[in-house]
Every structure is written in structure tokens, then in C-alpha cells.
Structure 1
Amino acid sequence: MSSPEQWTHPEPGEAPPATAAAPTKEQVIAGLRATSEGGPDLVQLMTPEGERVHDERFDPWVEDVTADDLRNLYRDMVLVRRADREANALQRQGQLGIWVPLLGQEAAQIGVGRALRQTDMVFPSYREHGVAWCKGIKPQELLGIFRGTDNSSWDSQATRFHPYTIVIGNQVLNAAGYAMGQRFEGKVGDDNGEATVCFFGDGATSQGDVHEGFVWAAVYDAPLVFFCQNNQWAISEPTERQSRLPLYQRARGYGFPGIRVDGNDVLATLAVSRWALHECRFGNGPVLIEAFTYRMDAHTTTDDPTRYRLSDELETWKLKDPIERVRVHLVRHDMADQAFFDQIQADSDELAHELREFCVNMPDPPLESMFQNTYAEPNPALDAQRDEFLAYSAGFEGGER
């Protein structure tokens, strides 16, 4: 039987492999301890108490961050959280079919989002509302997906933000192919190079698509940052039941670097993401980032997290809130006054109002829209189905149903 340390931080040759079908009590405790601490390799530049800590490797990547920049990062996180909370409420009131909360993961998403350049491409899963915000996509533009009125309303080429992907891990293959194209077209090699970032959760690392993406990106030195938001729960399965290794260490099996960052630390996430993107721009990719964070809400609004996790765990992570640590830092170092926080509150109230007004007044899409954008070329069979359906619908009072 492996030791508790082997379960969470094994090194080759240090201990025999685990043989139990289920972890022992000691292994579970070791896994929970690793979950709460993040391990010795965790990159952190700002503690939960708002204290700035230094890291020789990553300090240079944020040395240009000013007080204005920190205030803007704080504003991003507050507004994204408010939009998320409003959308969550809208779903509970029947205005959305489902919603995927990001509560607690704002720093992970804003940190990498603000490290991106306009030329960088993003392949999201379905929770990257904060990254979408950084790419200039309004929260209102996300609602059609969750109301069932469209697949995405933004131009993915103009925004460099691919539509949300619902199939777990599938976006990793798409991202690997896109990044390989960037490499083949010579769009890497200097500071003007392009890069791609692909987002997925800890549970997705058990999907074959993710590992295939790792293989292809590694073999072709694709300029691809694999950004894993480890929020500790793959729906109801904890991370220690997903992997015997810390997730960032999986990269070494494919021959590229992996790094674990405090995903509740927006400054550290910004620094690590800038470094990883720089590596990719110069042709040294790919890179795996594991943002060690926590999902404070349900997996989606169809999930009940009280059935599989303890309230004590939730309360512990509340003390590591990504927004609160920046607020404390700003106040402690006289970087923001009460007028600033009052303005942020007013801005978030206005955003919530605009989001609600937009949602409740969204028009129903025309019936024929479900047949559009299915094939690149005209398809007689699909056209016949469309015409038959529209003729059938016209037979009802009001012309459709």
C-alpha cells in the first residue's frame, strides 16, 4: 500500500504504487491536506491576507503592474462575479435553462485573461465568463447559450474567442489543431508571436481528448497553454480520485513544463500566464498551468454540492476569497479609498440591471434559425426538412408553435 504522501506527491521509485480500489482513510486525509494547502510548488505572490510575497522567478513578470492595474484587476473580478450571481438568479427564476457558475474562480480567469494579447486565441469550456469579459465579450452575449436561443452570438475570429464547448475536453483537440496551425504558418519565434490558450477543469484531465491534445501539442511544439482550473471537484468526484499525481506534474510525461499557481491569486496567475504565453510565442510551447482554486458554488444550477462535500471545506476556502485579498491589499497600502469601492459597487449594480433587462426581453429566435449554419454548403435534405417543418408550424394559430 502506498503512503499518504505517495497518494498526493509521489516521485518515481520512492514508494510502491497504490493497489487499493478505494483510498484508505490516511490517503483521504493526505488528499484533503494537499487540497487545502496547494503543495510546496504553489506559485503565490499575494497571500489570502493581502500581503505581497516575492518570487524571484515570477516577480519580473509583474514588475510593471501599477496601483491602477491592481484596481482594474479588482474591478474586473467584482463585475464578473456580479454578472455571474445575476445570471445564477435568472436561472433560478426560469429565465435561463441552466447556468454554470464561476464563483471563486474569478482570479484564475481574470489573471490569464489580462495576460492575453488581441492576437491570442482562446478555446473555452463552458465556465470561462471571466476570460470572455477580458476578450471584450459582454455577459449579455453569453446568455443565448444558456437560454437556448443561439450557440454563441459573438464573432469568434474577431474576438479570438471560440464558442463555448459543452462536450468535456473536446476543446483541447480543437485548440491543439489551431495552435499547430500557428506553428506551421510561422506565427511564432519572437515577441510578436501568437499563442493559444485552452481551458478545462480538473475532471476533464480524465478525458481521452485532453491527453490526445497533450500528445499532438507536444510533438509539434504547438504554442499552446493548457490552462487547467483545478476547482477540486469534477462535479461530485474530488481531485484525489482523479489523479495520483498533482495535475501539473502530468505535463512531464508528455515532455513539456507544468506549473501550479494559486488560482485565487490574480497577481500570481497574471505572472505565470505571461511567462507561459511568452514561452509559446517564442516557440517553446506547450505549457500546462494548473490554477489551484475552488468552486464555491454548484457545478451547474442542476447540481447540489451539499450531497458530496462538507460545509467546513467551503468555509475554509471562503477565507481565501480571490477578491477580498486584493481589496485588503488596496486598503492596507492606501491604493484605494471608499469612493473607489462605492463606484465599483455602483458599476456592478448597473451591470446587473442591464443583464437582467436584456435577459427578460430577449426575443425568441425565428424557427428557421435551427436549420442555419449547419453545413457550409447548401444541403437539399436539410432544406426539405426545414420547409416541411415551417409548413407544419404555419398550420397552428399564429403561424408557429
Structure 2
Amino acid sequence: MADGPADPLAVAAAVATASTGSYARIVATLIRVTGDWTLAEDCAQEASALALTRWPAEGVPANPGGWLMTVARNRAIDVLRRASVERRKLRELAVLTLTEAEPGAGTGAGEIVDDRLRLVFTCCHPALSPEARVALTLRTVCGVSTADIARAFLITESTMTRRLTRAKAKIAAAGIPYRVPTGPALAERLPGVLAVLYLLFTQGYDADGEPAFADEAIRLARLLDRLMPGQSEVAALLALFLLQHSRRDARRDPDGNLLTLDRQDRARWDHDAIAEGVGVLARVAADGPYALQARIAACHATAASAEATDWVAIAEAYDRLARRQPSPVVELNRAVAHGYAHGPAAGLALLAAARAGGALDGYPLAVAAEAELTARQGDRHRAAELFRRAAEAHSGAARRALLERAATLLPGL
């Protein structure tokens, strides 16, 4: 322990930092040993609570994460002893290593034994619904409170508690193994895990989302990239998150209104994150879906100005993405990119073709894209009408931004 009492605010910050950094490791390790998700989470939370009462008087320990692990482990031992569970579990807990060194690869070929990685793959098991995977990952891996998760999903805390309880019960009842798959099974399961992280990031990056969720997605992507260095799409996803999130501080004006890329102050972008994202992307040779999206994000992030953006390269990347991962949203973004690269008429033609199948009918972002391309073509009245129509399907910051765009086209109306 450090000598003497510590400043309460500094201690609270130290506890928050240590808890954030150690929560997943503690919970994952205790789940592996005890098989009890609720016990593991409770012990991790109780360790953090005890730190808040002990560290102000005793000082912040030299190894805060190790201290939290020790307290959580001892709490689990006490609970299990009182419950008279089998001695094997007590013995495993008693010899649990407290080293903070990063675990390496397992003894089996291709096996990765880090408990946090096991936990991520278990939370993202395909037997669970996509919503349950995201919620369980937030709660168990990231340590986000149930109340905050419920608020993000626009449901009550009690409803979210029941949803999380059902997800854990399904894992137990179905006998879902607490492990990272190997061989072909890893290749099959990894895209599902990355999809959950992508949804988690989107939940935080959306106009009215919870920014902390985007931070958690980045933290988990860093973890996966560190533990699975040979997986190019893991690195690509991390690069994509870093490049997108680099704009977080410039996306709104002082009044909280959303700013489009061309109106953002690029000096406020996080250029360290951009440099890191570009560096991570340099390790990715393949053109998988996340790699292509990251390359598009890099074109935006590294352009000196909106006018200097390489829209031709972006349009070509969307062409490749549409072939690799066709979807209505990809076709929508492809149309916008071509509209900037080759003129609004080209973009509107691609947008009309994408709408021909009906998948984009009534989609607010498609209406907004048509509005922007129409404005660039010179039809201000039609564009303003489309912006107002798109605003009807939105709320909050996104609605204000669309209405403001309409107003700038037809001031005074």
C-alpha cells in the first residue's frame, strides 16, 4: 500500500480505473472456476466497493488490479464455503494466480486460454439473440450497469434484469461451453463476436447513443486484437472503430447539434487515434468487410479538408464492399460515394437502382441521401422537402440536423 491517507477524489478515480481495467479479468476468471455468473459479478463489484472504503485510509495499492482480484477471490471463497460446495472449486480458487502478466497461448494447438476471451465468446454465443448478446457483453465483460444498459435499449431496468437473467439461464441450461472454439469452429464463430462489437460501437456512436458504449467496444476490440493477433478482421474492426471515433469531439456544435463531415473542425479530431488506426490498418492485407470499411474511414480521416477527400477511392472501396457483403445499406452508401466522386446524377441513378428492390422504401437515411444529392444537383425546393420528410422519422439531434439542413436550402420558409 501507499503510505498515508489518500485524496478521496484521487482514490475514486483510481478505483474507477482499476475496476474498468480488471473487471472483465476478475469476472471471467471467477466464472471459469465457480461456474456461477452472478457470484462472479457480485464479487467483482464488492471488491470495488471495498476499495472505496479502504484505499482512502490505506492508500492506493501498488497493484490495484491484483488487490481487486484478491478481494474478489476471497469473497468467492467465503460464499462457496458457506454454501458447502465441492472442495475442488475451493481448491482451485485458493491457488488462483494473481499475476498481472498477460496470459499467452494455451498448450493445445491454436487454443487461446485467456479467461476474458472465453467470456466474450460465451456472451456472443449464437444460441442467444443478438440483443441478448450485446446486453450480456455490456454487463458481464464491460461492467456497465443494468440501469445504463436498459436506458440504451429504451426499456425498464427490471425488464433488462429479466433479459440478462434469461440469457445466463439459457447458457447454463443449454450447456454452452465456457471456451474459445478452435480450428474451423473459431472461423465460424468469430464473425458473430465481431458483429456484436460492431453493434455495441454503433449503439454508442449513433447520434443519440451512449458514448461510453463506443469506448467499451474499442476496449474489447483492443483486447481481441492483442489476444488474437493473427485475425486480420479483428485488427480491421479495431482500426475502423479508432478512425470513426476520432471525430467524436467534433461531431456537434456548442449547442449540441450534429455537424456533417464537411462542417466539422478537423483540428478537433483525435489525430493520435487516427494515427493508431492507420497503423493498425497497415497490418491488414486482406480486403474483408471490416477492412474495406476501415479503408473508407481512413480516406475521410486523413484528408486535409472535405474538398481533399478522395471520393473516387471511397467509391471504389464501396464497389468492392458491395460485392463482398451486399446489403441495402451498403448500396445506399455506395450511391452517396458515387454521387460525390462522379456527380449527383450518378449517385441518384445508383440510389434509384438500389430502391428498385423495395428494401430502401421509406428508409429515413435513404430519403436524407436523396435530399443531399438532389441539393447538389441544384433542386433546392425538392431537396428541402426531402430533408423535412427524413426528419419526421428521427428525433433528438438527428431530427434537428435534418430540419436545419432544410432551412439552409430555403431560408425564411
Using the size of structure 1 for normalisation, the TM-score is 0.24
More strand per residue: 1
Structure scoring higher RCO (CA < 8 A, sep ≥ 6) equals 1
Q: TM-score, normalised by structure 2?
A: 0.24
Larger Rg: 2
- Which structure: greater helix fraction? 2
